[in-house]
Structure 1
Amino acid sequence: MKPTVQTLLDRADLGLGLLTPPDALAPGALETPVVWAHSSDLPDPTPFLDAGHVLLTTGTQFGDATADDGATADGASDDGAFADGYVRRLREAGVAALGFGTEVIRAGTPDTLVAACTAQGLPLFEVPYRVPFIAIARTVADLLAEDAYARQAWALAAQRAISLAALRPDGLSATLAELSRRLGTWVGLIDTTGSVDREAPLGGLGQPALGEVVGEARSMLRRGQRASRTLLAAESTEAPQRLTLQTLGGGGALRGVLAIGDSPELDQAGREVVTAVIALAGLALEQNRDLDRARGHLRSGLLRSILAGDTALAERVAAEMWGELPHAPVRVMVTDAPLAHVDRLTELLELRVEERNGRLFFGRDDEQFVLVVEQHDAGLADELASEFELPVGVSDPVAGDGGGSSGGAGGGGGATGGIALAHEQAMRALERARETGAGVSYFEEISRQGVLAFLARTDARAVALATLAPLTEHDATTGTTLVTTTRTWLEHGGQFDATAQALGVHRHTVRSRIALAERLLGRDLSGFHARADLWAALLAVG
């Protein structure tokens, strides 16, 4: 620990006597760390001083105590105004304390200086004649050297302990736990999905501070650049806690954010230890990334095997790697896999697999991620859509061929055909999600609209707009509602009475509008073909 003013006062060999009443000093004033001791008799020595310095003086600037007029040869007046200004300048420079050497120029410390130091709260001590200033400076230097050696020894011991922790089975968790113990504060790792992946001690940072840390970490990850941040986060009703956040990994490929609570150990030596941990954590996460890629290739191969109808190998490998495959009935989800989201999406899905003990399977298929989930787990689609702003297509639940299976998704061949069909459904639903801009599209919603609704895709929209143009232009010019009337009429099977009741108009009004629509369109709507074609056009434009 660095020497303080109190440390110097406690040294019997120096014999320093405090002249400022302790109750006149600010709390902790005597515990101010001393970074050096400097002697000067200049009227204004502050250009040569830094914060934390102890200034030693023999008082030449205060004049000769035996002079009648109280003035020195250079005109510096030994009065209260000079002493007040002198002390004020020292306070503004951050001087830790002032030491006055007696019996050299003056027989004692000037009363005006004692009064000024008392009024402005600057620690003032008297240095006896027998103690040379060099002894005080040497003492400070020796104590600083001892502190530097102790901090370096602490840093070496901490780095050694952290390196050994990194060799344990879960090296990353052990490393963070050891760092937390050495710093005596909370340490957390926020992964690329913006979730707290590891923390030590567990639950060591409460709300709302933890929420603020996670929010800031997510912001740093979204920017995708290496950065560090200092955050003042309020924990419950207590005073805000100072936390430091540092990204892990290279720019454009961030692997997470390391968050560290406030600690008195975070001096230069402490920061060196943190730097070592950042390097170890980054290395561990990069190694995990390589493993994730290998697992990703394995998953992709197993996915192709499942879709091709060969699930025996997939069931065996999945059981050893992650756990049982999802139990039937299952749904298949398909979402796009843009390069910017692949790593984060993979990590999120791996976390969800671990939470479900394997009963969620996913793999990458070209430019998409394909998920096989249990029927009740369909809500995962909403999480993917909202977290990554991606379109997601979801199939109907399938139990498999021949009545399904009570086992995994493969079910010994029972569900293979069902999963292949569900994959096709999910692909069609994904296409619809892309077209409509909806986050999640369910195949069952498309199938309820019928085949015409499925055929009325984006590539038919231009034709549909041209088909309906006579009606839409007439409505825009005259203020009629031919498009609405025609749609309602077709929805009610061409029944004029039912349409009139739905629109709240007379049936003759409906007849008149439909007749006008026929003239504008140039087609007879009494036949099925014409009605079906018009209905498809209405579906295509939405």
Structure 2
Amino acid sequence: MQPTVQSLLDHPALALGLLTPSAQLPEGALAARVAWAHSSDLADPTPFLDAGHVLLTTGTQFGDDAEAGFAAAYVGRLRETGVAALGFGTEVIREGTPESLVEACAAQGLPLFEVPYRVPFIAIARTVADLIAEDAFARQAWALNAQRAISLAALRPDGLSATLAELSHRLGAWVGLIDATGSLDREAPADGLGQPLLGEVVGEARSMLRRGQRASRTLVAGESTASPQRMTLQTLGGGGALRGVLAIGDSPELDQAGREVVTSVIALAGLALEQNRDLDRARGHLRSGLLRGILAGDLTLAERVATEMWGPLPSAPMRIAVTDAPLTAVDRLTELLELRVEERGGRLFFGRDDEQFVLVLEEADSGLADEIAAEFELPVGLSDPVGTGGIALAHEQALRAVERARESGSGVVHFDEISRQGVLAFLARTDARAVALATLAPLTEHDAESGTALLTTTRTWLEHGGQFDATAQALGVHRHTVRSRIALAERLLGRDLSGFHARADLWAALLAVD
């Protein structure tokens, strides 16, 4: 136990007497930890003192020629330095302790004790040193015992959970592991941290994971509540491939020895998660092989292997979802999908196909596409529902849909959104924009130079099936005006717009530039 002012006062061999009434001292003053004991009779010894020191003096500086107010200023300097207590050795220079010093210590809340003549200052310093050494040895022994127990816990069947439970027991604090997807994976004790504190911890862990860099954070959770808690968060895994975040509640055991124990747990947890990562990679290769069989229509082998590994494949009607697999998100996305597979008893299948993830979903799980798009800010394409014989077609639909989703960067595009717009609209969105701009250039340039509305008129005319009266009514002009504008557009474009082929080509160009 580290020495305190009270433990020195209680030490029978020192026979120290407290001169400042405890009732007049600040709360916790006698419980303050003592870092060292130093003796000095200087009028200002503070340059040689640090916070937590006990100063011992024989009172030479308190001679008869001391100025009025010297004691108050002397004590004030000690208080500003953070001195834990002042000891006055009597009958060496003078008898008793100066009354002015007693009054100044009582007024400023500095514990003052009297040291009998028979007790040398070196005995007090040695006692402080011995107690500090005993405390250091006890903390080292505690750390060794804790590390031994944690190492044994790591050898149990669920070594990671056992390790966290043992750490929680040793620290007397809540311990939680947030996985790479930003979800609370396990905790000890169970339900040991309620809301809103848990939500704040998980939110900060997700922020650390998104940065993708090794880091540690200190968070005061629940500051707006009646019982805020100081939490320590530490990432697990290497930069760019974080495996999770270890969160630890506040504990009096988190001194240097406690931090060493936590460091060993971080190493063990990181090793366990890396081993899981290697296993995940092997399972990922298996999934990719089975996926190729599923997309090729060979469900027999895939059904058998998937049932043994994860559970039965999704049942019809099902959808295919396709999303990109950027290197920065592969591991986190894989862990999220593995969790969702476990939650659904296998009725969800996924695998990597080159630079994409392909998901086979039951109709009820279509919302998973939205979850992926929101969590990872990725484009996702979702097919129409199909039976077991339509998987290849659904995959093709999802590929077309994810191409459309990439145009906006992220989000979910359902294939039926594309099919409702028609084939021509789809064709116009491929690589036709440059050609379309060149096709329409005569109209756009004429409008810019002459202030006409040929492009708008032509678009409206096509929208109304080439009907001049309907177009005139929509534009609010005379039908002869529409006729003259279309005639001019034909001359500028160098094509006859009376035929279906020419109109369809021009409409595709308009769609492409849109």
In 2: Cα distance, 1:505 partner to 1:16 partner = 108
Q: SS of the residue aligned with 2:381?
A: strand
AA of the residue aligned to 1:538: L
Paired residue secondary structure (2:37) = strand
1:424 equivalent in alignment to 2:399: no
2:41 partner SS: coil
Q: Tell whether 2:171 aligns with 1:183.
A: yes
Say whether the 8 Å CA contact 1:80–1:116 is kept in structure 2.
no
Residue 135 of structure 1 and its aligned partner are, at CA, apart by: 2.3
**Offset of 1:239 from its aligned partner?**
5.0
Q: CA deviation at 1:109?
A: 0.5
| Paired position in structure 1 for 2:105 | 117
Per-residue deviation, residues 222-276 of structure 1 (Å, max 9, x unmatched): 3322222222222551254222121111222221221212111100110011001
Helix, strand or coil at the partner of 1:30: coil
The amino acid across from 1:428 in the alignment is: R
CA deviation vs aligned residue, 1:251-303 (integer Å, no higher than 9, x gap): 22221221212111100110011001000011011011101101100100110
Partner of 1:74: none
Structure 1 residues 173, 520: closer, same or farther in 2, change over 3 A?
Answer: same
Question: Does residue 518 in structure 1 map to residue 490 in structure 2?
Answer: yes
2:362: which partner in 1?
A: 374
1:103 to 81, 86, 91: 91
Q: Using a 3 Å threshold, how does the CA distance of structure 1 residues 326 and 93 change in structure 2: closer, same or farther?
A: same
Distance 1:239 1:501, change over 3 A: farther
Give 1:390's aligned residue. 378
On the 8 A contact 2:369/2:382 being kept in 1, the answer is yes
**In structure 2, distance between residues paired with 1:147 and 1:219:** 38
Q: Match of 1:341?
A: 329
Task: Decide whether aligned partners of structure 1 residues 168 and 501 sit closer, same or farther in structure 2, where only a CA change above 3 A counts.
Answer: farther
Q: Following the alignment from structure 2 to structure 1, what is the Cα–Cα distance between the partners of residues 92 and 236?
A: 60
Please point out which of 270, 274, 280 is paired with 1:282: 270
Contact 2:377–2:410 under 8 Å retained in 1: no
Indicate if the aligned counterparts of 2:471 and 2:479 stay in contact, CA closer than 8 A. Answer: yes
Q: Which amino acid in structure 2 is aligned with residue 350 of structure 1?
A: E
Alpha-carbon separation, structure 2, partners of 1:191 and 1:450: 43
Q: Which residue of 2 aligns with 1:92?
A: 80
Secondary structure of 2:358's partner?
A: strand
| Alignment-derived partner of residue 473 in structure 1 | 445
Note the C-alpha offset of 1:306: 0.7
Question: Deviation at 1:196?
Answer: 2.1
- Consecutive unaligned residues in structure 2, runs of 5 or more: none
- In structure 2, the residue matched to 1:483 is 455
Partner of 1:67: none
Instruction: Check whether the contact 1:381–1:392 (CA below 8 A) recurs between aligned residues.
Output: yes
Percentage identity across paired residues of the two chains = 84
Aligned partners of 2:161 and 2:457: how far apart in 1?
66
Cα distance in 2 for residues equivalent to 1:418 and 1:11: 86
- Does the residue aligned with 1:339 lie in a helix, a strand or coil? coil
Q: What residue is the counterpart of 1:132 in the other structure?
A: 120
Separation of aligned partners in 1, 2:344 and 2:178: 21
Output the amino acid matched with 1:514: I
- The CA deviation at 1:53 is 1.2
Report Cα offsets for 1:465-519 as digits up to 9, x if no partner.
1111122233334444433333333233223344445455554444444333323
1:340-365, Cα deviation, whole Å (9 max, x unpaired)? 22111111111221222211110001
2:338 corresponds to 1:350: yes
- Call closer, same or farther: CA 1:484–1:382 in 2, change over 3 Å: farther
Contact 1:83 1:112 in 2 (8 A): yes
SS at match of 2:69: helix
Identify the residue that residue 66 of structure 1 maps to in structure 2.
Answer: none
Q: Supply the distance in 2 between the matched residues of 1:264 and 1:349 (Cα, whole angstroms).
A: 39
Deviation at 1:221, TM superposition (A): 2.3
Are 1:193 and 2:165 an aligned pair?
A: no
Which segment drifts farther, 523-532 or 451-460? 451-460
Residues 374-410 of structure 1, C-alpha deviations (whole Å, 9 max, x = no match): 12322222222222222211111102xxxxxxxxxxx
* Match runs of 1:19-418 below 5 Å: 19-63=19-63, 70-71=64-65, 77=66, 79-234=67-222, 237-238=225-226, 240-399=228-387, 415=388, 417-418=389-390
Give the distance between the partners of 2:99 and 2:452, measured in 1 at CA. 100
Separation of aligned partners in 2, 1:508 and 1:171: 85
Equivalent residue of 1:346, what SS? Answer: helix
CA distance in 2: counterparts of 1:395 and 1:92, whole angstroms: 72
* Displacement of 1:49: 1.8
Q: Partner letter of residue 529 of structure 1?
A: H
Greater mean deviation of Cα atoms: 152-161 or 286-295 = 152-161
The TM-score with structure 1 as length reference comes to 0.90
Partner AA of 1:6 in structure 2:
Q
> How far did residue 58 of structure 1 move?
1.3
Question: Quick check: 1:435–1:458 contact (8 Å CA) kept in 2?
Answer: no
Following the alignment from structure 2 to structure 1, what is the Cα–Cα distance between the partners of residues 283 and 51? 56
CA RMSD of aligned residues (A): 2.0
| 3-state SS of paired residue (1:29) | coil
Matched positions, count: 514
AA in 2 matched with 1:21: P
State the partner residue of 2:418: 446
Shift of 1:194: 2.2
State the partner residue of 2:3. Answer: 3
In structure 2, relative to structure 1, the CA distance for the partners of 1:512 and 1:386 (3 Å cut) is farther
Q: Residue type of the partner of 2:155?
A: L
Kindly tell me: are residues 236 and 81 of structure 1, through their superposed partners in 2, closer, same or farther at Cα, counting changes over 3 Å? closer
- The residue type paired with residue 269 of structure 2 is A
1:75-105, CA deviations, whole angstroms, 9 ceiling, x for partnerless residues? xx1x442212221221122111011111111
Distance 1:522 1:473, change over 3 A: same
CA–CA distance in 2 between the matches of 1:513 and 1:176? 78
Structure 1 spans left out of the alignment, 5+ residues: 64-69, 72-76, 400-414
Aligned residues of 2:378 and 2:410 also touching (Cα < 8 A): no
Match of 1:403 in 2: none
Compared CA separation, residues 489 and 201, structure 1 to 2 (3 A): farther
Point out the more displaced range, 333-342 or 80-89.
80-89
Structure 1 counterpart of 2:247, one-letter code: A
Does the C-alpha gap of structure 1 residues 446 and 28 become closer, same or farther in structure 2, counting only changes over 3 Å? Answer: same
Using the alignment, how far apart are the partners of 2:134 and 2:147 within structure 1?
20
Change (3 A) 1:438 1:257: closer
Counterpart-to-counterpart distance in 1, 2:30 and 2:101: 18
State the AA in 2 paired with 1:519.
R
With structure 2 as the length reference, what TM-score do the two structures score?
Answer: 0.95
Give the C-alpha shift of residue 422 in structure 1: 0.7
| Cα distance change on mapping 1:182 and 1:475 into 2, 3 Å | farther
Change (3 A) 1:513 1:375: farther
Shift of 1:199: 2.1
